[in-house]
Structure formats: C-alpha cells, structure tokens
Structure 1
Amino acid sequence: MAYSFTQTTARVLARLARYQPVRSGLQKLAVAYRQQQAMSTASPNHDIAEVLPIDPRPAVAQGGTRLNLMVPAVSQRHVFGGIETALQVFDALRPYFDQARIIVTDEATPEPRSDAYYGAWPIVPMASESPPCDHIVAAGSRWGQTLAVHAQDHFMATAWWTAHNAFALLNWQRAQVPEASARRLLYLIQDYEPGFYPWSSRYLLAQATYEQPGRTIALMNSHWLADYLAAQGYAFPVKEVLQPRLHPALAAARARCETFAKERILLVYGRPGTERNAFSLIVASLRLWARHYPQARQWRILSAGEAFAPIDLGSGCTLHSVGKLSIEAYADLLCRTAVGFSLMVSPHPSYPPLEMAAFGARVVVNRFANKDLSGVSPLLVSASPPNPEGFSAALRTLTQAFDHGETSCMPANASEMVWQGGFLDSCGPGFAWAADVAAKLLGDAPAIPATV
C-alpha cells in the first residue's frame, strides 16, 4: 500500500515538473535545501576544549598548605611516561605540604590503579567541598561547576593546558588573597609542547605558557629539553633540570635479571595516535627492512604502547601489538628483546629507547636538534638520514649482527653496561632537589616535611 502511494506521488511530481514555474520552484527548494545542509554540516566549533576555564570559588574551610597537581588523567590506561613522571615528582614534593590534591582536567570519571599511592584517595566532583584529606577532583566535565580554592593552595602544572588554567587560578587567588601576590606556579615541562601542533591557536597558547618566567618555577625534564628551550629564547630565572631515571620497578626487575637472555625479538614503541612518535615512519621502515633482509621472517616483531590490529609488513612479516603492558610483563619482554626501534620527534629523550637499552637491547633512534642519544650508550644507534632507507639500514645492521652471533657490544648482564648519565642510578638522589623546590614554592619557608 505504501509502495503504491509512493509510486503515484512520484508520477504526479514528474508530470508537474514539466511546467516551467513548478520546475523553477522545485529547483530553488533544492538549492536552498543543499545550502542549509552545507551550513549545518560545515558549521565549525571554534572552541578550544583543553582550555575550558576551571573557575574558582572561595573554599568554605581554610586549610593548611596544599599542593595541587593539575594533570590531564590518572586512569591506568592513560598513564604513560609523561604522566607517570608527573605523579612521581608530585609524590616527592607532597611531604613538604600539609595536604595534597590531584585535579584531573581531562577525565570526568578517573579510574586510578588501586596499588598507586593515590589509588585509595577519595574522588570528588569539582562542585563539592574538599574533604580534610588527600583527594582527587574530577574536573573533566566541569561546565557550570567551580573549584574550591583557599589561601594556602599551591599549584603544579604539567601539560600546557593545565598551565594555562593554573595561571588563571593564580590570578584569581592573588586578587582574593593579597599575601599570595608573589606566589609562583610550579611547571613541570616535559617537552616543547607547541611542537605538538601545526602553527595554530594551540601552538600560540602552548608557547604563551613559557612566557611568564617571573611567575614560574620551571622543572625541565632532561638537559636536552632545557638546552632546546634556551635556544628558543626561553629563560627561567628559577629552574631545576631533571634527569630521566629508570622506573623503580623496572630497575628492581633489571637487578634481578642475572643475564640478558636475548631472543630474535624486534620491539618497537608504537603509538599510532601520537604524531611525534612517528608511527607511520616506523611501519614504512619495517616494511623496507623486511623486504631487504632475508632473515626478517625469523624475527618476532612486536610493538608496546598503544593497542592496534596486526599490520602486514610484507615478506612474511607482521607487526603485532602487545598494547600497554604491566611493569612485570614489560620487564620480561625487555630482558628478551635483542633489537629495539623507537622514534621521538622532539627534544625530549623518550623513556622507551632508554629502557630497552638499559636491558641490553641495541636500539635504533633518531636525532632531533641538539638531542643525540648515541652519546648515552653504544647500545643506542642514531640512524641517518631519518627516513625509511636510513632506519631500515640501521635495523638490518643490528639484526644481522645478532643473527651472526656478533654480540660483543651487547652486555651479558647489567654489571657490564656502559652508560653516560644518571638514568640507571635509580637508587641515587633522584629527587634531591625536592626540598629546595618546595621551599621556593612556599615562599622560601623552611623545607621541613609536613608529615613524618
């Protein structure tokens, strides 16, 4: 019945369309409809979601000194090297304050791992008053809500958009509390973050967070990054340069490993969703290596980092993702990996290639500006030129050397490692600067831990 009605309607419209006035009217309606559809589908959203303001309100209860870590996420699936380092730095600093609070800027329902030091902290909505204990504020869905801030709140920023909002919170706090007029932001800078974007609004906003040096205590993660920032013209009068260090759990696993029992495993650090890790270039290089190295199919080619479907590399080779591993599983894989491949298109050294080399693998990496990891250890090989031909040639050299038993440059165990710098000194004073930084943040008050 409905089909018959549709057919009849179509025939009537076809006959009416023979008349010029009707045809013109239908054509105008069609043009108007297409224009309306184009406007509705192409209407852009000009908001920059990351910098949605975190609006403050005076806290009902005024407490003691409180250190606030502003970090994009704390859920286990999001805690990679950068966020992990931020949480470690925060943990080193919080004993010098009466309370600690983590403000999660990008997650509405954070799910921290239960065995983390913050794993049992209560998670409260931004609109709620602060409980009288260390806690986490979920600020990822903050529209129409405000954050309780009191006179003794001190802020530590991580990603550039957290610094953007932290400066705004400091501005408000200064207006409310005259004695906070000289208060500075502790800014953990772990990369040159304008480089995450094309020249754009976000590029400028990220740059702007480096341009308030008098209001900043800068913690820069690695001398490579500190030197790069200086070369770009950024000078921070109050700063501390951190040196990357092997994760304590990995260091413990490495210490337990009597020998590095290497297998034909080629491990890459694969993050398809992060452009600076150059995943497409990694895949192109692996395909060229597989095509030109006859023994390539004898190797297991694995990727740690983000999960993705298997990728056919040709010549009987496949790149398989193991995703984000537990520390224990990752350490086991590192012990068995013979060759690594990890790229980072930025002045930050990146932890995975250092971790692979720390467990005795020979690792192909890239240079960037003033950064050249080959000076850290002979196990780290900077390929040139940084294209598929250069990287595949380096991979061919390392895999062929392993297949031919040429392992003289590969340490049999941790004690034979040749290494420049403090990355392996996990038992050393990695956070010896904490007391000094806490004193500066507190306004040169005595840096005495607030808790025993």
Structure 2
Amino acid sequence: MTRALPAAEAKAPSPSPAPEIAVILAVFRPDPAQLEAQVASLAGQILRPSLLVAVIADLESGPLMAQTAARHGLRCEIVTPDRGMDAPRAFAAGLAAALPLTAPGSLIAFSDQDDTWHPARLSRGAALLADPAVSLVHSNARVVDNAGKVLHPSLFALERRLPAPGLRDLLYRNTVTGMTMLFRRELAELSLPFPGQAGVHFYHDLWLALLATATGRVVRIDEPLVDYRQHAGNAVGAVSRRRDWRLPRPSRKALHHWARRKATSYALARYLARCVQARVSEAVIGAQLGPDRADTSALRPYLRRRGLGLPHLADSLRLLLTGHADLARIAASQFIITAGRLAWSLREALGPGLLAALSAFDTRLYGLSPGIAPPEIDSAGNAVIRELALAPPPPPARRARPAATFIDARKQPSWTPRFDAPESAIVLLVPTLNPTEAFAGIATAIDIGIGLAARGHRIRMIATDLPMANPAASRAFVEGRAAGAHPGAAASITLHCGVTGDSCGRDGPKISQHRGDVFLATAWWTAHVAQSLIRTHALHHAQFHYLIQDYEPHFYAWGTTCADAEASYGMDYRPIFNTTLLRDHFAGLGLCAPDALAFRPSIEISRYASGHRAPSAAPRRLALYGRPEVERNMFPMAIEALERFTTAEHLGPDDVELLSVGLTHEPVEFSTGARLTSLGKLPWEAYPEFLLGVDLGLSLMYSPHPSHPPIEMAASGVRVVTNRFGGKDLSRLSPAIISAEPTPEALAAALCRAWVAPPVTRAMREIDLSPLGLAMPTLIDRLSADLHPLLNRRASAA
C-alpha cells in the first residue's frame, strides 16, 4: 500500500551513509538544449548519482549523450541496442545494463531526457528508502511547457491521482510516474525480464509500481521534485481527468464497441495481475523474497478462473464515494466485463439454447425413422390436438429480420467524410490499427504508409473494421515502426477510427478528409469502401490504389463472400502486388498487366543466415509451420504427410523430435510413436535461435503468395519442404528448399529426400529475394512518384 507523506514529514529518519545511485536515461532523438538541462539537473543533485546509464533508443544519439554527460562530469555508460526501442524496452535494457555495474544496496532512478530535476530529488527519496520496508519512493511534479513555464503546479492534482492506491487501483490507472521514481536494486532484479507485449500497452513505471506494492511499501512525496515537460513529443503526457465520464451511445453497435474497448483494458489488467503473481511466486520459491514480504491478495479477482468480479463493484462504490468518479467508472466496467466473461462462457458451454439444440437433433432423428415428426406434447404431458391431423404445424411467430443484416457491413464505410482538411492526403484503409491485431499483411500496409510519409506525403490511416482499443497504443505502434528507418515520418501521419462508437473518440462517425484524397485499399472489402466513398462523394480521383497480398476469393467457399472478393478485382484501381509470384498469377487470369508494381517479402535474410548452427544430434528435430485454423496452411495434409514420412523412415521418438510452431493445438501422435508437440507462436526475438536448432522443416501454403517460413527456415540452414502452387516454386530461391506437389504422397517423398540429404551449406543460406519483386524502399519510391502528381495537381487547383 502506498503511504502519502506531506512535504514537512518526508525527511530523513536518521543519518546514514549515502547509497550509490544509478540513473537510467532513455534517449530518443532528444532536443540538445533540453537534454543539456536535464543532465545538468542530474549533476546538480544534492545526492549526486554515481552512474548514468544512457540507452540510445534511436541508435543515433550516442555521441551527443556521451559529450553531454562528460561536460557535467557524470560517469556514463552508453548502451546502444541492435534495434530501435520504445520506452518500456529501453528502460528494461537500461536496468539489465545497470545491474552488473551496481552493488547490492544501490538505488536506481528513471529519467526522461527532457525534464529537469529539483536538487533534492534523489536525496529526499534516498532518505525514505533507509527504511528497509520501503521498496519504492515517488514524488509529485510540476507540469511545464516546452520553454519551462509552469502549466500546473501539481501533476497529482491535475490527474486527480489517488493518494494511496492498492494493487487493483494501480491496474485501474497507474499513479506512479517513472521519472519521479527511486527504488532499490533488488526491485530491479525482481522486475526483469519485463512481461512481453506487442506494441506499447503498459509502461515500465506501472510494472515496477505493481511489484513494489506487492512486495513492500510505496511512499509518495507530495512535494514536486521534478519539472515534467509537456510537449507534442511526449510518449504519454499529463492528462486532465476532470471530464472523463462518458457513457456509450444508446445503440447495440456502440455498446458492442464500448464493451470491446473495456474488455481490452480488463485483459491488460488481468495479464499484468497474473504476471505479478507469477513473478512474486517465483521469487518466493527461489528464496529471492521472503514469504512475509509478498502480498498479492488484492489480485484475486483477476486470478480466479470463475467469479462475478464483486470486488470490482465494491471498488467502484468506494471510489465514487471518495470523489473519483472516473476511476469508479473503470472499476465498474471491469465488474461488467468479469461478470460478462462468466455469462458468455456459460452460454458458449450450453450452446445456442439447449432446448433448441435438442429439438433440432430430434428432428434429424425423426427424419431417419419413421420420416415424420410425432405429435406435439404440451408441458403437462398432453397431446396437442389439431383440427387436421395431416396439416403442417403453424409456423411460430417470429420477428422479421431486417434485410440490412444480410449485407456484409464491411463493404460500406461506417463514417462520413467531413471535407474540411486543408490538403489532400493518401488515405490508407486498414481493417485495424490495434497492435495485437496488426499481423503481417496489415503491418506491411502500415509500413508502406510510413514510407510514403517519409517521402513527403500526408497519410491518413483509417481503421475500417475494429475500433482502436487504445489510441495511445496504436499511435506508439505506428511511431515504433517508423522510428528505425524513417525517423520523423510519424509527424505526417494521423490515425482515425472509422467505426461508429464511443471508442472512436473525437472522430465519432465523421473524419476530416479532402476531396483530393487518394485511397490505398488493403483488403477486398476496403476496396469496396474506397469505391463507395469515391462514388458517393464525387471525389476528385476515380481510381484508387490497391495493395493485393493474396488471391482473396480463395479464402472462402463459393458464394456471396467469394463473389464480393472477386468483384473487387473488377474495380478501377492501380495494383501493388506482394511478390511477382502473386502478380504473375493475376496476370495469368487477365486481371493485371505483367509489369504491375510488385515488391519482395520484407525478410531480413541476414538475421537468419548469420547464425551459427551446431552439429546435428539425435534425435533430429523437424519443425512444422502448424496453423490448424488457417485452411491455406493445409494442416491435415501436413499431418498425413508426416504420418507417411515417419512410417516410411521408421522414425520413432528416439529418432525425430517433431515440433509445431504457429498456432497452439493439441499434440498429435503418429503410428510409429513419434509425437508432434505444439509450441504455439514463438517470440519474435527467439525465433531465429530456435531455427538454428532445427534440421528439417515442413511449411505449406496453398496460395500463389509465398509464405515467409520456408524462406526463413532455409536461410537458417534448415532443409525445408513446401508445396508448389501454379507458377510458384520456391526451390528456385535456394537448393535448401524442396518444392513438391500439394499431395500427401509427394510431400512425404520430399521429406524422405530431405531426411537423407547432406547439411545445408553456407552458400545455400544466402538467399537472393530480388526475383520476387522490388525492394520495399524502391517500391515506395516508385509509388511516391506516381502519387505526387495526383496530390500536387489537386492541391494547386484548390
């Protein structure tokens, strides 16, 4: 539990030797003057830090940082990661670098690059940490503008923070700011590694605050000891909480979107609660932490598999009575989601109505014998007499279903353009901008948008299908992808929610656009959206651009959806194909010119080809790209091919270890006793290391588009079997790839050849992807050159 101290009480309990203090500073394209001021404030501390660990998150500012620290006489350790980092990962890397350089009993502080510390920032915190029961100290802060002018004297008051939050309160909303924190080295050890996340969904300060609250006391100093600089480049920024009570609009669709957004917040809280519980339990089991130091009882509502979430409802009432209506709303929403989770699970367990399901089953039985239904029986057990025994039963009264519910809503825009934008832009239509839902195809589209922004275009990214669950996380996701190759590009990109609902924020059902906008569609239904907007509003450009990443009609059975997808290829557009293989397939169908734009897969071959492979050992390891839910990955055929292969080669569990990566599924046992174990989706960072320990691979894709795994496996030195499709033959890229016809017999025979083939050579691992299309930068250059005249001509006319 956090204990709040007034300024007069927050003093040293007794004199003691000054502890060593390490400061972790994340550096990302800093303003030199602001960095100078911050480092000067570090050097000017009453209790001067003994070490400054600077993590160069932008990969470029190391020299500037080293020079600035040297001018102020600070010992500085420069940490430059292999790749650009967001704030949470940068601070995690800083902690990992600081631990070997600091002694037990040392203290650690986080620092932003553009704030300034008051001289007593460290000394006041260190004095309170002399109490061994205190794990973490944090303070208030003044909010200042870019020039240092005070905007608000108290960050606590501005954000109406709880003075003494518990674990659940922190999961409703974090109240501990990283740049005001000072904590023990032991807490840093406990915190590493940080829980994983796709994009940025939680920050380092929340994770540290949760662990500190679960394992000790957190003390709050009410006096501002930091000037927190508020400007357009803040990763998060201070937010006023005085007008944060919004109810969802009274419509079924709006309520659905509200529930989805709240469920996203609940999922994050539940995830972090389980991570805290697991981390604390590991520390207790490993004797890193005494059992008396751990109290995670407040997390029980998140840890229970069943429960109505009544503690959240009690929290809501408590917070409402203490004047925190915004936090009460969050707690209430978590109660609703918890109760709804249980209700939904019960409904799923019972199916679509137990009586209706039983009745449907009985109808099938009677259809088998005697072929007609028996007389109806009422609830009292009496026969229901009809005037005409042979007359069919009257149809039950049913409410008519609106015709609109039969129409695929994805094909029509859910928003109305508000034509008040000052200049035209490229409008990128993507199904979602949520980081956890932005898989390879959507990420590729976003990368193209970022590349066009870097070349001087204004980009409007619109989520057409799903509301942005966390706009800040979506923004951080886009900025993170832009940070490496295209720093500064994000400033020309705006994100919009094109789905009607409360979660869409200020855009609501209207989005600011320009009649000279050029659309870039990224899926067949977004092509329908683009065409609808162009025709409905008589936009200047009748033709849109279309990013085609597979032959999408084949994703569906023959029918309406298949026809809708195929109809998108008859619209007026300029295509951009993901690989020449896909382009050639379309050209063969007469759907495009043979020289249409096509780009190669964005596979970093060196990331896989540079790894060192150890000699193979028994049992040899075979990896399957296993995704049972994705039809085009042909999981059943892969299993049949493996059954034939293991039988033909007499391979049992002592001979081959079968592993499946992709989507989690149940184990599969073969007739020889060999067993396929599913590892699910591997972390991106661990994937190359995993492949270096694989001998054989099996990766299928029944599509003209080449999937990435066969190429990544071959570059890693894996002898991999895949299937042909029309003109697609990946064996042309490397002898390490064996392409076979998509039949179980042919695939099994290819696996047998791969089993006895010699190891993959270094030359085979160096794969040239140029036959598959233009490099992404070249593609974007060509696309930019095509778009500039369209946008500039309309801008000139306006």
TM-score (norm 1): 0.76
Task: Select 2:720's aligned residue among 335, 359, 363.
Answer: 363
Partner SS, residue 444 of structure 2: helix
Q: Tell me the residue number matched to 2:151.
A: none
Structure 2 residue 471 is matched with structure 1 residue 117: no
Contact 1:245 1:423 in 2 (8 A): no
Structure 2 residue 612 is matched with structure 1 residue 276: no
Partner SS, residue 94 of structure 1: helix
Q: Tell me the residue number matched to 1:438.
A: 784
Distance in 2 (alpha carbons) for counterparts of 1:58 and 1:238: 37
> Kindly tell me: are residues 282 and 140 of structure 1, through their superposed partners in 2, closer, same or farther at Cα, counting changes over 3 Å?
farther
Distance in 1 (alpha carbons) for counterparts of 2:553 and 2:450: 27
Q: CA deviation at 1:240?
A: 0.9
Q: Tell me the residue number matched to 1:193.
A: 552
Structure 2 residue 412 is matched with structure 1 residue 56: no
Distance in 1 (alpha carbons) for counterparts of 2:589 and 2:626: 29
> Kindly tell me: are residues 198 and 224 of structure 1, through their superposed partners in 2, closer, same or farther at Cα, counting changes over 3 Å?
same
Distance in 1 (alpha carbons) for counterparts of 2:669 and 2:449: 42
Q: Tell me the residue number matched to 1:395.
A: 751
Q: What are the within-5 Å matches in structure 2 for residues 77-226 of structure 1? A: 77-110=436-469, 116-118=477-479, 134-140=493-499, 145-173=509-537, 175=538, 180=540, 182=541, 184-212=543-571, 215-226=572-583
> Kindly tell me: are residues 237 and 58 of structure 1, through their superposed partners in 2, closer, same or farther at Cα, counting changes over 3 Å?
farther
CA offsets, 1:99-148, max 9 Å, x none? 32322223234466787434599xxxxxxxxxx96333233556993443
Partner SS, residue 440 of structure 1: helix
Q: CA deviation at 1:189?
A: 0.8
Q: CA deviation at 1:312?
A: 3.0
**Which 5+ residue runs of structure 1 have no aligned equivalent?**
1-9, 122-131, 448-452
Q: CA deviation at 1:39?
A: 9.8
Q: Tell me the residue number matched to 2:406.
A: 46
Tell me how many residue pairs correspond in the alignment. Answer: 399
Distance in 1 (alpha carbons) for counterparts of 2:792 and 2:688: 40
Code of the residue aligned with 1:83 in structure 2: it is: I
Distance in 2 (alpha carbons) for counterparts of 1:159 and 1:68: 14
Contact 2:580 2:772 in 1 (8 A): no
Code of the residue aligned with 1:47 in structure 2: it is: I
Q: Tell me the residue number matched to 2:765.
A: 417
CA offsets, 1:316-370, max 9 Å, x none? 2332222222221111112222111111111111111111111111111111111
Code of the residue aligned with 2:777 in structure 1: it is: F
Code of the residue aligned with 1:265 in structure 2: it is: R
Task: Select 2:608's aligned residue among 251, 254, 257.
Answer: 254
Q: CA deviation at 1:25?
A: 6.3
Q: CA deviation at 1:197?
A: 1.8
Distance in 1 (alpha carbons) for counterparts of 2:727 and 2:532: 33
Code of the residue aligned with 2:386 in structure 1: it is: S
Q: Which has the higher contact order (CA 8 A, sep 6+)?
A: 1
> Kindly tell me: are residues 374 and 290 of structure 1, through their superposed partners in 2, closer, same or farther at Cα, counting changes over 3 Å?
same
Structure 2 residue 386 is matched with structure 1 residue 24: yes
Partner SS, residue 89 of structure 1: helix
Contact 2:609 2:716 in 1 (8 A): no
Code of the residue aligned with 1:322 in structure 2: it is: L
> Kindly tell me: are residues 378 and 217 of structure 1, through their superposed partners in 2, closer, same or farther at Cα, counting changes over 3 Å?
same
Q: Tell me the residue number matched to 1:321.
A: 678
Code of the residue aligned with 1:364 in structure 2: it is: V
CA RMSD for the aligned pairs? 3.8
Contact 1:103 1:138 in 2 (8 A): yes
> Kindly tell me: are residues 152 and 321 of structure 1, through their superposed partners in 2, closer, same or farther at Cα, counting changes over 3 Å?
farther
Structure 2 residue 649 is matched with structure 1 residue 293: yes
Q: Which runs of 4+ in 1 moved over 6 A?
A: 25-30, 37-41
**Which 5+ residue runs of structure 2 have no aligned equivalent?**
1-376, 483-490, 503-507, 794-798
Distance in 1 (alpha carbons) for counterparts of 2:616 and 2:770: 25
Taking every aligned residue pair, what percent have the same amino acid on both sides? 30
Contact 2:427 2:519 in 1 (8 A): yes
Task: Select 2:596's aligned residue among 199, 224, 239.
Answer: 239
Contact 1:69 1:156 in 2 (8 A): yes
Q: CA deviation at 1:397?
A: 2.6
**Whose radius of gyration is greater, 1 or 2?**
2
Contact 2:581 2:772 in 1 (8 A): no
Q: CA deviation at 1:417?
A: 3.1
> Kindly tell me: are residues 156 and 258 of structure 1, through their superposed partners in 2, closer, same or farther at Cα, counting changes over 3 Å?
same
Q: CA deviation at 1:208?
A: 1.9
TM-score (norm 2): 0.45
